[in-house]
Amino acid sequence: MNTLTRRNFLQSSLLSTAAVLGGPSLAVHAATPPKARVVVIGGGYGGTIAAKYLQMSDPEIRVTLIEKDSAYVSCPLSNEVLGGERDLASLTFDYRGLTRRGIAVMQDTVVEIDPVQHFVTGASGNRYNYDKLIVSPGVDYDWAAIEGMSEAVAEKIPHAWKAGKQTQILRRQLEAMEDGGVFYIVAPPNPFRCPPGPYERAAQVAHYFSTHKPKSKIVILDAKDAFSKQALFQAGWEEHYGDMIEWVSGAQGGIIEAIDPETRTLMGSFEEFKGDVINLIPHQKAGALAQTAGLANESGWCPVDQRTFESSIHKDIHVIGDACIAGAMPKSGYSANSQGKVCAAAIVAAINGEAAPAPSYVNTCYSIIAPEHGISVAGVYRLEDGRIVDIPGAGGVSPADADARTRALEQQFALDWFRNITSDMFT
Amino acid sequence: MPRPTWSRALCVGLLIGTFPSLPLHAEEIRSESMLANTCAGCHGTLGASAGEVMPTIGGLDKGYLVEVLTDYKTGRRPSTIMGRIMLGYGDQEINAIASFYAAQPWVSTDRVAVADQLAEAPALHERYCESCHQDGGRSQDKESPRMAGQWAGYLQYAMQACRDGERCHPRKMRNRVADLSDAEIAALAHFYESQK
Ligand SMILES: Cc1cc2nc3c(=O)[nH]c(=O)nc-3n(C[C@H](O)[C@H](O)[C@H](O)COP(=O)(O)OP(=O)(O)OC[C@H]3O[C@@H](n4cnc5c(N)ncnc54)[C@H](O)[C@@H]3O)c2cc1C
């Protein structure tokens, strides 16, 4: 498309359908031209933070956040919805807090990025010009990796790896399952969003089964031979749920190659598994927009300068959160939060003609194994030769021999983690 | 950006004889806000916590923050996760984080007092706490953090952990809380939470 046709196209879309979430903001109507325009795509764990910290550290920058949905549903704590401990409403947030800060929050789906002319186009037809662009689109799925899987099949065989409707589908299937049934969780290969997630999910569902369907079984069919916080999870499963949870490693035949959704049958490398309920968590890659915009490499993820999160492929476009390749950092909400802040600081520096500051990054992830039993993993990172690396000696997992009080406290901290990280994002 | 080499960093460390207090990795100095903003994911933006056991840290006394963070790092102050995290920072960095949070405005919780939780609290406050935690728990210094407007969940945990011998800061706190019952601790915690 050349510039002329694009301009015509945009003129014809003056009556735009893009909604301004939470009412018009100051920034939209600012009379004086802004120092710079930064557009952030994706209002999740990474994007909200980048937008807010940009606005906080340099209010003269005009910040626009583009999010396709009117509300955000958090994945963290969504396993508790599967366990029946909370509802989705408690995980749902709107963008009014960010609007109040002067960020222009637009409900629109970005369909195209023009890295040369520095603008993005929404499904509404709206065009958003930027000096710097931040992309935090989360993950999408590599459906082809398991034969018989597709987005349509996921309506029946849910992944529940994006919270919302998918979580509800899986919860209803678990509720409808008869006591004595078998629930399969198919866990993906690395790298993927939330490394401890499938194993926390097994614990949460076991918590539900043990009170409602105690004869049922949970089998995790894993593409991997090891997983995050493994020793703590396995000890916790056994302690609280006996032999209800079984883990089959990749080497033991856990790798799933195909599925027949009609008969709910999974084809492994050695055996077939027929389940009453199946949660297939697909192989993952950077969100669709990152793929279409050419920000991902052959790995499916986006290479970036790990100091600034600027794309190694397109100048002035930064990629943060699950979509980016961030050295030793896992794909987690806390990592996305930390990356959003480092990226915002780098962009503020660049706009003000300063060098990118020395970065500091942290990750903290809690998992809830049972109502009074939380565990955690932490990482503290720095940049070394252009790569994010663990600071040796720091971080790590909860001690295996933690006493009851510590475990109960960690469970409370898990909930407080959620309160605070979401207030960091949305207020 | 020029990066001091290892040998230069080493020389500086040897020369001024304060090697342990250099940042853990002397290549680049990380700013106060860069270091401190990583805490906000758990402690709230600018250290104003959204609750409940996670304390508000923005606006606390700098000397207090330095001591507590250092004690987490050395293990002198037992913790679930803070010890593991603080091991990632050098003394200068801890100092920078403390400076950042000490400079933030204190934001009290919006919790109001529930009358029947508090009946005996003012008397307990006067008898056990006021000599250090003056002005309804608003005063603060290196040894006595602000308690007015802090989350009751955290205060309750902190007092219980001290009474039960897990951790006290400073040690003399122990004598003060030693004889308090769970109910009295809860009353005090809610009393301070409701002071703004
Ligand atoms: C079950 C589960 C449990 C988890 N638990 C934890 C936990 O306890 N702790 C933790 O730290 N992490 C946890 N995570 C991981 C966490 O959810 C992700 O790492 C985090 O959401 C990544 O943030 P992000 O910004 O990259 O993506 P997201 O938070 O997914 O945000 C992406 C946003 O971009 C929007 N978007 C995408 N494409 C477009 C487009 N073209 N136009 C406009 N908008 C678009 C999406 O609608 C979405 O709102 C968990 C994940 C799962 C699945």
My answer on whether A129 and A203 are in the same domain is no
Give the count of domains, chain A: 2
Determine the residue of chain A that is closest to B44 in CA distance.
A420
Q: What is the 8-class DSSP label of residue B69? A: H
State the Cα–Cα distance between residues A141 and A159, nearest whole angstrom: 10
Cβ A331 vs Cβ A383: under 8 Å: no
Q: Whole-angstrom distance between the N-terminal and C-terminal Cα of chain A? A: 40
Determine the residue of chain A that is closest to B88 in CA distance.
A394
Structure confidence at residue B28 (pLDDT) = 86
**Closest to A396 (Cα-Cα) out of A373, A418, A375:** A375
Question: For the segment A317-330, what is each residue's pLDDT rounded down to a tens digit?
Answer: 999 999 999 999 99
Question: For the segment A70-127, what is each residue's pLDDT rounded down to a tens digit?
Answer: 999 999 999 999 999 999 999 999 999 999 999 999 999 999 999 999 999 999 999 9
Cα three-residue angle A325-A328-A333, rounded to 5 degrees: 70
Tell me if domain B32-107 and domain B109-195 are identical in fold. yes
Which parts of chain A have pLDDT scores under 50? Answer: 1-16, 23-29
Q: What strand order describes the sheet that includes A110-114?
A: A110-114, A119-122, A127-129
Q: What are the angstrom distances between the C-alpha of B80 and each of A392, A396, A398, B175?
A: 19, 11, 7, 24
Cβ A190 vs Cβ A224: under 8 Å: yes
My answer on whether A255 and A155 are in the same domain is yes
Inter-chain touch B40–A420, beta carbons under 8 Å: yes
CB environment A333-342: b (16+ within 10 A), e (fewer): bbbbbbbbbb
My answer on whether A338 and A266 are in the same domain is no
Residue A375 lies inside a defined structural domain of this protein: no
Structure confidence at residue A187 (pLDDT) = 98
The CATH number of whichever domain residue A179 belongs to comes to: 3.50.50.60
Which of A341, A357, A394 faces B88 most closely, judged by CB atoms?
A394
State the Cα–Cα distance between residues A365 and B84, nearest whole angstrom: 13
Which of A376, A412, A423 faces B50 most closely, judged by CB atoms?
A423
Inter-chain touch B38–A406, beta carbons under 8 Å: no
Give the CA-trace dihedral at A192, A197, A199, A200, to 10 degrees.
Answer: 170
Residues on chain A touching B79 (C-beta within 8 angstroms): none
Structure confidence at residue A401 (pLDDT) = 94
Residue A119 belongs to what domain range?
33-68+108-142+285-355
State whether residue A332 sits within 8 Å of chain B by CB.
Answer: no
Answer whether A334 contacts ligand 1 (Cβ < 6 A): yes
My answer on whether A332 and A351 are in the same domain is yes
Which of A342, A415, A424 faces B40 most closely, judged by CB atoms?
A424
State the Cα–Cα distance between residues A161 and A170, nearest whole angstrom: 11
Structure confidence at residue B113 (pLDDT) = 78
Q: What single-letter amino acid sits at A192? A: F
Inter-chain touch A358–B28, beta carbons under 8 Å: yes
My answer on whether A276 and A290 are in the same domain is no
Q: Residue A77 CA to chain centroid, in angstroms?
A: 12
Whole-model pTM above 0.90? yes
Domain residue spans in chain B? 32-107, 109-195
In this structure, which residue's CA is closest to atom 29 in ligand 1?
A: A44
State whether residue B120 sits within 8 Å of chain A by CB.
Answer: no
**If chain B, 196 residues long, is cut into consecutive pieces of 10 residues, what is the mean pLDDT of each piece?**
40 41 62 98 98 97 98 96 98 98 97 79 94 95 96 96 91 91 95 94
* Element housing A29 (H / E): helix A26-29
For A:97-156, CB contacts with B below 8 A are none
State the Cα–Cα distance between residues A198 and A321, nearest whole angstrom: 19
By the 10 Å C-beta count (0-12 exposed, 13-18 middle, 19+ buried), B14 is classed as exposed
Question: For the segment B111-166, what is each residue's pLDDT rounded down to a tens digit?
Answer: 987 777 678 999 999 999 999 999 999 999 999 999 999 999 999 999 999 999 99
* Nearest atom (ligand 1) to Cα of A76: 5
Inter-chain touch A338–B41, beta carbons under 8 Å: yes
State whether residue B53 sits within 8 Å of chain A by CB.
Answer: yes
Tokens (6 digits) for A353: 């003609």
Inter-chain touch B30–A395, beta carbons under 8 Å: no
Assign domain B109-195 one CATH number from 3.30.43.10, 1.10.260.40, 3.40.190.10, 1.10.760.10: 1.10.760.10
CATH dotted code for B32-107: 1.10.760.10
Helix (H, G, I), strand (E, B) or coil at A396: strand
My answer on whether A276 and A162 are in the same domain is yes
Min Cα distance A81 → chain B (Å) is: 21
* Nearest atom (ligand 1) to Cα of A111: 41
State the Cα–Cα distance between residues A5 and A269, nearest whole angstrom: 53
Where does a domain end: A305, A340, A355? A355
By the 10 Å C-beta count (0-12 exposed, 13-18 middle, 19+ buried), A18 is classed as middle
By the 10 Å C-beta count (0-12 exposed, 13-18 middle, 19+ buried), B103 is classed as middle
State whether residue A409 sits within 8 Å of chain B by CB.
Answer: yes
**Which residues 6+ apart lie within 8 Å of B103 measured at CB?**
none
Inter-chain touch B42–A421, beta carbons under 8 Å: yes
State the Cα–Cα distance between residues A41 and A132, nearest whole angstrom: 11
Inter-chain touch B34–A357, beta carbons under 8 Å: yes
**Interface confidence: ipTM more than 0.85:** yes
